[in-house]
Amino acid sequence: MTLDIQFKIKNNPYYLRYIRENSYWYKMLNRNPEIFKSFEEQVKIKYQLRTSDKLKNIISTINVLQNVVSSLK
């Protein structure tokens, strides 16, 4: 694994946690460092860090707040 990738993984707690939970990524990144983008995408999917996931969470929170307000009326 290149030093650049190692620094990226160690500086991001999500990457570090994911690679510890899915150790096969060590081997994959050692053999082919170009798949780091794929690794990043998997982390974003697993921990719901994509923009669409964040929007869904915001919409869900708004809906819950609307339901609470409407039930108080």
Q: Quick: pLDDT tens for 30-42.
A: 999 999 999 999 9
Measured between alpha carbons, how far apart are the two ends of the chain, in Å?
A: 59
Q: Which residues of 9-29 are buried (b: 16+ CB within 10 A; e: fewer)?
A: beeeeebeebbeeeeebeebb
Over the chain, what is the mean pLDDT?
94
pTM: 0.78
Residue spans of the domains in the chain: they are 3-72
Residue 71 CA, chain-centre distance (Å), reads 34
* Distance (Å, whole) CA 29 – CA 35: 7
* Rounded average pLDDT over 2-23: 96
What's the alpha-carbon Rg for the chain, to the nearest Å? 18
